[in-house]
Chains A and B, each alone.
Chain A
Amino acid sequence: MAAKLIDLQHITKKYGENVILDDFSLYIRENEFVTLLGPSGCGKTTTLRIIGGFETPDIGNVMFQNRDITNLPPNKRELNTVFQKYALFPHMNIEENIAFGLRIKNKSNEYIKDKIRYALKLVNLEGFGDRMPDSLSGGQQQRIAIARAIVNEPKVLLLDEPLGALDLKLRQDMQYELIRLKNELGITFIYVTHDQEEALTMSDTIVVMNQGYIQQIGSPTDIYNEPQNAFVADFIGDSNIISGIMVHDKLVEILGAKFDCVDTGFGENKPVDVVIRPEDIDLVDPGNGTIDGIVTDVIFKGVHYEMCVMARNYEWIVHSTDCFPVDTRVGIHVDPFDIQIMNKPESEDEKAVEIVE
């Protein structure tokens, strides 16, 4: 594993009475694509601004390559930011925008010319040098903002919801573009978003945050398949989160029915939360599953059908490429390794919340 590049140590940040980050610790390795993911107000942008130097933590330290940079102004830090609304300087053309950081550092004209050419090529916008920012589309402005940041050869690129203002198709294209850029440049990307799909697509590591606390850190597959609490399960994708009782190792009771699972070590007869992803539920003929239910709602989603199945007074969300019409009696079957057991939340922050975006 690569060395620690950035180390946030016990950071607390308040705005008045409002605690944004509470004893927050996180380290980021070299060459990682890290995504801070969470709903509005979870502290992800504040974390990014603290790393960028636009905010100072009330308590705690920001270490960069083992050097304390907590009080270093942004212009002295070896990292660059891509802002949410791009923030291209409207009175300068594209070349001047890209050259801004290099001119401040008094680089030679030759060097700057080379760098501009290289950067425009990297973001596929050759020949745009003379244009003014407001004559470019949102996606193009976004690429220029990235070009302007990377010509300075930062060790870390900070991206604050950079795709938020783009339409869906463009956003997906830019996701691949960003992965390509990251691999080509070989630098660390710290990415802030509330879009779970974006996070799952691009990241090496996802940090799920809520109300100033880290809920879970892991690879996209870890986060999706093994959510550690109801908040993570609920925030990342759709899920059925049901109260259950862990009868003993590898057997859990949900809604009065016993399901085989693969989890161990929760003790005997212990209340737990059970997460079952909608696409992991198999609908079978009535009687052939663990429990039976009735389809109450069907929505066609393009790739799959989303169905609601009422079984034992719980409305299960099921995703399937096969359609079962409303009022069909079905059996519900779940493979043991598709059942994810979690401890009941110990604090308010870990509870599943309504996501309003």
Chain B
Amino acid sequence: MRKPWKSLSKKTRALAAPYFVWSVGFIIIPLIIIFFYGFADANGHFTLSNVASIFSHVNLKALIISMLLSFLSTFVCLLIAYPLAYILAEFGHGKSSLFAFIFILPMWMNSLLRTIAWQNLLEKTGLINTILSFFHLPTMMIINTPWAIVLGMVYDFLPFMILPIYNTLSRLEIDYANAARDLGANGWQTFWKITWPLSLPGVISGITMVFVPSLTTFVISDILGGGKILLIGNIIEQLFTQDNDWNAGAGLSIVLMIFIVISMIITDKYDKEDATKK
């Protein structure tokens, strides 16, 4: 086996040192600590019970709801982001950066603030319902439901879906689409056979950037779910902050990490198969 560290020149090694220290200190050691807590009981003896606690009724339910809501919000984000990114990229190359900027702008605002804003909008006596009742329209009761959480996730994470797709689409050579048109494909065929498969790398990173934070969030479910709907993120948070049970919290974190890794592998595999098949 090659030893990557030894194969580097002295100068390169000196330059790489800070990153090496960083990755040991802030990635590898914390991971080891998490794994240590996750596979140990309160007395420090090895146990699988922390990891296995995912099968308890409450935890399993939280994980399933988290997965469902994350899938849904990722899907909705993709549905909104793709056409938008397409239009932005199409809008004339170069000129569109201002438009893209406008859509990215909310990303720079504190996400807690944005979520609380939605809480105020959606509340029983919030702004939206006040307006609705003013016009004698039926009021909405979506605060403290899963729908409110999905809405919050979509609103918070949408820019993360737009940006990578927009980047891929705007870098796509216009000649690919022109060549397809030239060879007889209509607009629709050109999109499905050329533009869509060539933009998949952007779609994949968009999905990753939305799915992962959706799956692990606890703030959005806390604020827009009113504490009634527990996501796996909320359970882990409670274990650490309220129950002071670091072992169980670390165990569930490991399970969640495994789920994320598996879904990323599946997405990535689908991407590769799709690219070679078509």
Contacts and interface: CB of A to CB of B under 8 A. Distances in A.
Contact of B198 (A75, A91, A105): A91
A151 to B, nearest CB: 9
B6 interface: no
B197 A104 contact: no
Given A75-B183, A75-B186, A89-B194, 9 more contacts: A54-B178, A54-B181, A73-B186, A81-B178, A87-B179, A91-B197, A91-B276, A100-B183, A104-B189
Contacts of A52: 182
Nearest to B180: A100
Contact of B175 (A75, A83, A148, A149): A83
A101 B193 CA distance: 12
Contacts of A83: 175, 178-179
B18 interface: no
B196 to A, nearest CB: 10
Given A75-B184, A104-B185, A91 B275 contact: yes
A267 interface: no
B79 to A, nearest CB: 23
Contacts of B181: 53-54, 73-75
Contacts of A90: 176, 198
B175 to A, nearest CB: 4
Contact of B179 (A53, A73, A81, A105): A81
A75 B179 contact: no
B186 A87 contact: no
Interface of A: 52-54, 73-75, 80-81, 83-85, 87, 89-92, 100-101, 104-105, 148-149, 152
Contacts of A85: 173, 175
A7 B267 CA distance: 52
Contacts of A53: 181-182
Contacts of A87: 173, 175-176, 178-179
Interface of B: 173, 175-176, 178-186, 189, 193-194, 197-198, 275-276, 278
A149 B179 CA distance: 9
Contacts of B189: 104
A129 B176 CA distance: 20
Best-buried of A52, A83, A85, A89 by chain B (most CB within 10 Å): A89
10 contacts: A73-B181, A75-B182, A83-B179, A85-B173, A89-B180, A91-B275, A91-B276, A100-B185, A100-B193, A101-B183
Given A54-B178, A74-B181, A92 B278 contact: yes
Contacts of B176: 87, 89-90
A189 B194 CA distance: 27
Contact of B182 (A81, A84, A89, A92): A81
A87 B194 CA distance: 11
Pairs of residues from A and B, 6 with the lowest C-beta to C-beta distance, nearest first? A101-B183, A87-B175, A87-B179, A74-B181, A104-B184, A81-B182
B163 to A, nearest CB: 22
Best-buried of B176, B182, B185 by chain A (most CB within 10 Å): B182
B182 A74 contact: yes
Contacts of A101: 183-184
A73 B197 CA distance: 23
A80 B182 contact: yes
A104 B183 contact: yes
A73 B179 CA distance: 13
Contacts of A89: 176, 179-180, 194, 198
B47 to A, nearest CB: 48
Contact of A74 (B175, B178, B197, B278): B178
Contacts of B186: 73, 75
Contacts of B182: 52-53, 74-75, 80-81, 149
B274 to A, nearest CB: 9
B41 to A, nearest CB: 51
A101 B185 CA distance: 7
